[in-house]
Chains A and B, each alone.
Chain A
């Protein structure tokens, strides 16, 4: 049993406590510790993923309690890949924060940031449903602090809405877990999969209620259409780097959905037949349409970015809701792409807002910001990635979602229509916003009207550029990445490997 599995949870937790207790007045030390900690996380996550890439499923039993009784952390391909994605994104965000000085505008940014990392990594690694709830709460309570970082009345009220919505989601989560525990008598995911499969088929009403509630909770986190109302206001009012980090939070919902729909309630399970397939896909497609129409209709850059997140979650969930291995494979690729692409958009919008000084993020032609050309170029690349136009990975990802929809049973034209038409709407939306903000700015006033705003520093450009290099790499190396995603999908659908890895150790220890 390797202790490395728990390091992505313990390291940020210790670091955050250390930052709060010992260096809360010294920003330089905080920055150094936060950057170093996140860089170490990247290295460890890479190691874990290389280990899981061999096909091994490592199980870490907390307190050495055997599996169905104690809590386990499970490092399989999907979990380690998500941890690596989180830490890479976090590293870029930390560099951006230092470059733009966001951490000077309020207290405890780095401590909250590390706690947030702890929650996200824990949620990906855990193999216990109740522990998943606990890590959800950890990441949420840190996100409440980050969301209202540096304050302001509007941001605080948006934060209040965000908190209330997520507390309701947490309550629903507990109701779902209680129902599932009452039916099965366990909350360990592997044990749950085992027992749900053995449940008598004429006595599944309560389980179906629990399963639906659980998927609804994940749908709240993933911002699926009728439950997405919390996202635009909170993401657009959060500080830019925090919103960029939140790009991984919607993916936590998608990850949990993917995990439960393959492991615990697989598509061929009789007890939950007809529960998810008939509403999940229409809801996902409506999410996609609402997101991209929102991009077109947004009057502020930050709201545009928030709606772009909803749109890309729609594409991702459309692919997940096909409930086929090919759809899952495409969804996994799209998770990587969508996280990076939406994070860059938030970071760039943050640069524009900072460059305009007090003028904010309205989409209208104000005087050009400092380094207008560079920021405009970055916005252009990010818009290409998010709307899914060649040559970047958004195009490759959407192509594979389309292909998976064609291969799946049932008519594929609704998916094709939704994805292709919304791509066009997104292109128009991004083109309108970009040309107004960056090009018309040059015509309106040649004189620099924002002398008080400092130009974007090199470090923040490096952070955005770094993520863009990863987007390009994702496009160039799409073949090898897809091969890895194929293996990950095999591991997800071949649940006996996961179940025996978790429960097998327990039986041996007894």
Chain B
């Protein structure tokens, strides 16, 4: 199971990084969300992988799963969801106002704009 989860994190991260390096905003955002999935699974595993145990310690039964990573993942999911939504909105606004969805800025643009 460890090998499966570890390779899942690895594949997600690799795919995410590849997409983040693309030139258009849409694949970049998909890549970012793949990366956040990868980090969520990674955080989940950071307390150790335990199957079929409650996240509560009990004095007669010593087997439990670490509850803290679950709380961390919950926070991370909420934050990454919100961040992805914001990046989609900004990307859309940039595309609609500039009619161009490439992520890089040519030097000429940065030099000559008049805000």
A interface, CB within 8 angstroms of B: 130, 134, 137, 140-141, 144, 148, 151-161, 163-164, 167-168, 170-171, 174-175, 177-179, 181-182, 187, 233, 236-237, 239, 299-300, 303, 353, 358-360, 362
B residues in contact with A236, CB < 8 Å: 110
Q: Which residue of A lies closest to B98 (CB)?
A: A153
Q: Is the CB of B86 within 8 A of A171?
A: no
Bound Cα distance A164, B83 (Å): 10
Q: Is the CB of A167 within 8 A of B32?
A: yes
Bound Cα distance A181, B76 (Å): 15
Bound Cα distance A168, B17 (Å): 9
- Residue B7 at the chain A interface, CB threshold 8 Å: no
Bound Cα distance A177, B72 (Å): 10
Determine how close the nearest CB of chain B comes to the CB of A381; give it in whole angstroms: 25
A residues in contact with B38, CB < 8 Å: 171
B residues in contact with A303, CB < 8 Å: 110
Q: Is the CB of A178 within 8 A of B43?
A: yes
What are the 9 A-B residue pairs with the smallest beta carbon separation, nearest first? A153-B98, A156-B94, A178-B46, A154-B113, A360-B114, A182-B46, A174-B39, A153-B97, A178-B43
Tell which of B32, B38, B90 has the most Cβ of chain A within 10 Å.
B90
Q: Is the CB of A141 within 8 A of B86?
A: yes
Q: Is the CB of B47 within 8 A of A182?
A: yes
Q: Is the CB of B105 within 8 A of A161?
A: yes
Q: Is the CB of B47 within 8 A of A155?
A: no
Q: Is the CB of B46 within 8 A of A179?
A: yes
Bound Cα distance A144, B79 (Å): 14
**Interface size class of chain B, counting residues whose CB lies under 8 Å from the partner chain:** 35 or more
Q: Is the CB of A154 within 8 A of B105?
A: yes
B residues in contact with A237, CB < 8 Å: 110, 113, 115
Tell which of B25, B68, B98, B110 has the most Cβ of chain A within 10 Å.
B110
Q: Which residue of B lies closest to A353 (CB)?
A: B115
Q: Is the CB of A154 within 8 A of B110?
A: yes
Determine how close the nearest CB of chain B comes to the CB of A24; give it in whole angstroms: 18
Tell me the residues in window 41-71 of chain B with beta carbons closer than 8 Å to chain A beta carbons: 42-43, 45-48, 68-69
Tell me the residues in window 70-96 of chain B with beta carbons closer than 8 Å to chain A beta carbons: 72, 75-76, 79-80, 82-83, 86-87, 90-91, 93-94
From B79, B87, B98, give the contact of A163 (CB < 8 A).
B87
Report how many A-B pairs have Cβ atoms within 8 Å.
Answer: 123
Contact A167-B87, Cβ < 8 Å, known A134-B75, A182-B46: yes
Q: Is the CB of A154 within 8 A of B109?
A: yes
A residues in contact with B82, CB < 8 Å: 141
Q: Is the CB of A160 within 8 A of B91?
A: yes
B residues in contact with A168, CB < 8 Å: 20, 32, 35
B residues in contact with A130, CB < 8 Å: 72, 75
Q: Which residue of A lies closest to B107 (CB)?
A: A299
Bound Cα distance A159, B88 (Å): 12
Bound Cα distance A460, B25 (Å): 37
Determine how close the nearest CB of chain B comes to the CB of A311; give it in whole angstroms: 19
- Residue B2 at the chain A interface, CB threshold 8 Å: no
B residues in contact with A155, CB < 8 Å: 115
Q: Is the CB of B94 within 8 A of A160?
A: yes
Bound Cα distance A124, B47 (Å): 27
List 12 other contacts, CB 8 Å, given A152-B97, A155-B115, A178-B69: A134-B79, A137-B79, A141-B82, A148-B93, A160-B91, A160-B94, A164-B28, A164-B32, A168-B32, A174-B39, A187-B68, A237-B110
Bound Cα distance A100, B20 (Å): 38
From A144, A152, A175, give the contact of B113 (CB < 8 A).
A152
- Residue B103 at the chain A interface, CB threshold 8 Å: yes
B residues in contact with A148, CB < 8 Å: 90, 93
Residue pairs across A and B with Cβ atoms less than 8 A apart, 15 shown, are: A134-B75, A141-B83, A158-B110, A160-B103, A163-B83, A163-B86, A167-B36, A174-B42, A175-B42, A178-B45, A182-B45, A237-B113, A239-B115, A359-B114, A360-B113
A residues in contact with B46, CB < 8 Å: 178-179, 181-182
Tell which of B76, B87, B97, B111 has the most Cβ of chain A within 10 Å.
B76
Bound Cα distance A181, B38 (Å): 17
From A158, A163, A174, give the contact of B105 (CB < 8 A).
A158
From A174, A233, A300, A362, give the contact of B76 (CB < 8 A).
A174
Determine how close the nearest CB of chain B comes to the CB of A16; give it in whole angstroms: 16
From A156, A171, A177, give the contact of B90 (CB < 8 A).
A156
A residues in contact with B87, CB < 8 Å: 160, 163-164, 167
A residues in contact with B36, CB < 8 Å: 167, 171
Q: Is the CB of A233 within 8 A of B94?
A: no
B residues in contact with A359, CB < 8 Å: 114
Q: Is the CB of A178 within 8 A of B39?
A: yes
B residues in contact with A299, CB < 8 Å: 111
Q: Is the CB of A152 within 8 A of B83?
A: no
Q: Which residue of A lies closest to B82 (CB)?
A: A141
Bound Cα distance A171, B76 (Å): 9
B residues in contact with A171, CB < 8 Å: 32, 35-36, 38-39
B residues in contact with A156, CB < 8 Å: 90, 93-94, 97-98
Determine how close the nearest CB of chain A comes to the CB of B55; give it in whole angstroms: 14
Q: Is the CB of B69 within 8 A of A181?
A: yes
B residues in contact with A152, CB < 8 Å: 97, 113, 115
Q: Which residue of B lies closest to A130 (CB)?
A: B72
Bound Cα distance A237, B98 (Å): 15
Q: Which residue of A lies closest to B33 (CB)?
A: A167
Bound Cα distance A174, B105 (Å): 29
From A137, A160, A179, A182, give the contact of B25 (CB < 8 A).
A160
